[in-house]
């Protein structure tokens, strides 16, 4: 839909706001990219001076379960260990968890990645903390009213329809790369902003932000979430998952629900929330602790 492309993103005022939180940050808006995560990982890898720096996807309990080589990029800016917010109006090779494709359409989606050096006491639960801040920014808590945006462990945002039921609204993909003695974190965010007919038949259902905010567009959604995301990452770096646990529980889509898993010996059970490290607890005979990268969890209903 060409009329929706090249929107007014307000990059300069956004940069001014973010620079107070992440000094030295750059804000880049491009019409298209293969994957904003891939581009920022490539830059960080080259800035390390290593030809084959490993890229890892943090799990809930460990920081580097899988390593893979990043393709050689066509170019980079200087000093790519500085924070960078990269927004693409569309992505041709957007990625989700476990290599799944993330679809995006110009004007109908918000896809961006934030890269920054990060040194938390543990990486466990980072995707959960990011999910909390995105949900709170897009669906501010309203007293005792149930939230409209729920969180499906470990990294999806859903528009809630009933307890344990909803449709997928967005997702989070977190990857890291070593740069010298530091580690760069790249936090990729994908949100459905307006209806996308090609995605209506997704197995998890399809939801978009305009169901909550009819006049919202992608630049407005970015302005809602960017600064709170930066603040959350700095807090996570110093305090870990603990400050976000209560807010996650309030939005936990699976809490108390029957679930199916692919974990050996835990085909079905009842989800009992997360533990201190962000692992999912499932009651099936005994209490089992499931970690990201080892399970696929879906509501049984």
Q: Pick the range with the lowest mean pLDDT from 61-65, 71-75, 182-186, 218-222.
A: 61-65
Mean pLDDT calculated for residue range 129-144 = 96
Mean pLDDT calculated for residue range 71-98 = 65
Distance of alpha carbon 218 from its chain centroid, rounded?
A: 16
Which has the higher per-residue pLDDT, 7 or 280?
280
Binning pLDDT at 50, 70 and 90, where does residue 91 land? confident
Q: What percent of the chain has pLDDT over 90?
A: 61
Residue 4: its pLDDT value, please? Answer: 42
Q: Pick the range with the lowest mean pLDDT from 17-26, 94-103, 125-134.
A: 94-103
Task: Single out the residue of 295, 134, 149, 157 nearest to residue 221, CA to CA.
Answer: 134
Residue 55: its pLDDT value, please? Answer: 61
Burial (CB count <10 Å: 0-12, 13-18, 19+), residue 15: middle
**pLDDT tens-digit series, residues 168-179:** 999 999 999 988
Q: Which domains does the chain have, with CATH numbers?
A: 2-247 (3.30.930.10), 254-301 (2.30.30.100)
Residue 45: its pLDDT value, please? Answer: 82
pLDDT, mean over the chain: 83
Residue 264: its pLDDT value, please? Answer: 80
Q: At how many degrees (to 10) do helices 218-239 and 126-138 cross?
A: 140
**pLDDT tens-digit series, residues 141-153:** 998 899 999 999 9
Which has the higher per-residue pLDDT, 298 or 220?
220
Q: What percent of the chain has pLDDT over 70?
A: 77
SS3 for the chain, per residue?
CHHHCCCCCCHHHHHHHHHCCCCCCEEEEEEEECCHHHHHHHHHHHHCCCCCCCEECCCCCCCCCCEECCCCCCCCCCCCCCCEEEEEEEECCCECHHHCECCCCCCCEEEEEEEEECCCCCCCCHHHHHHHHHHHHHCCCCCCCCCCEEEECCCEEEEEEECCEEEEEEEEEEEEEEECCEEEEEEEEEEECCCCHHHCCCCCCECCHHHCCCCCCHHHHHHHHHHHHHHHHHHHHHHCCHHHHHHHHHHECCCCCEEECCCCCCCEEEEEEECCCCCEEEEECEEEEECCCCCCCEECC
pTM for the structure as a whole: 0.86
Binning pLDDT at 50, 70 and 90, where does residue 181 land? confident
**pLDDT tens-digit series, residues 245-285:** 999 999 999 999 999 888 788 889 999 999 999 999 999 98
Residue with the two structure tokens 């880049």: 28
> Any idea what the Cα angle at residue 189 is, between residues 187 and 195, rounded to 5°?
175
- Is the pLDDT assigned to residue 77 strictly greater than 50? no
- Is the pLDDT assigned to residue 299 strictly greater than 80? no
Residue 48: its pLDDT value, please? Answer: 59
Mean pLDDT calculated for residue range 154-182 = 90
**pLDDT tens-digit series, residues 183-241:** 999 999 999 999 987 655 555 688 999 999 999 999 999 999 999 999 999 999 999 99
Residue 300: its pLDDT value, please? Answer: 58
């Amino acid at each position: 839909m060409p009329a929706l492309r090249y929107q007014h993103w307000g990059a300069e005022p956004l940069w001014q706001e973010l620079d107070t939180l992440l000094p030295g940050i750059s804000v880049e808006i491009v019409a298209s990219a293969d994957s904003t995560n891939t581009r920022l990982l490539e830059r960080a890898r080259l800035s390390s001076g290593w030809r084959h720096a490993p890229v890892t996807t943090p799990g809930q309990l460990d920081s580097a379960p899988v390593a893979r080589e990043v393709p050689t990029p066509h170019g980079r800016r200087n000093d790519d260990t500085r924070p960078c917010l990269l927004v693409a109006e569309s992505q041709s090779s957007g990625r989700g968890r476990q290599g799944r494709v993330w679809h995006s359409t110009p004007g109908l989606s918000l896809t961006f990645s934030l890269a920054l050096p990060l040194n938390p006491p543990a990486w466990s639960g980072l995707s959960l903390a990011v999910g909390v801040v995105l949900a709170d920014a897009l669906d501010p808590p309203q007293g005792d009213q149930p939230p409209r945006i729920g969180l499906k462990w470990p990294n999806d945002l859903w528009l809630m329809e009933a307890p344990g039921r909803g449709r997928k609204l967005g997702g989070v993909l977190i990857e890291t790369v070593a740069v010298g003695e530091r580690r760069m974190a790249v936090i990729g965010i994908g949100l459905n902003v307006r209806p996308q007919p090609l995605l209506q038949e997704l197995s998890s259902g399809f939801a978009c932000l305009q169901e909550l905010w009819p006049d919202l567009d992608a630049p407005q959604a970015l302005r809602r979430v960017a600064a709170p995301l930066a603040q959350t990452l700095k807090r996570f770096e110093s305090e870990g998952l603990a400050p976000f646990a209560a807010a996650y529980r309030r939005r936990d889509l699976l809490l108390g629900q029957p679930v199916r898993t692919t974990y050996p010996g835990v085909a079905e059970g009842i989800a009992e929330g997360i533990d201190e490290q962000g692992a999912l607890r499932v009651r099936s005979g005994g209490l089992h602790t499931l970690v990201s990268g080892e399970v696929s969890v879906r509501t049984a209903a």
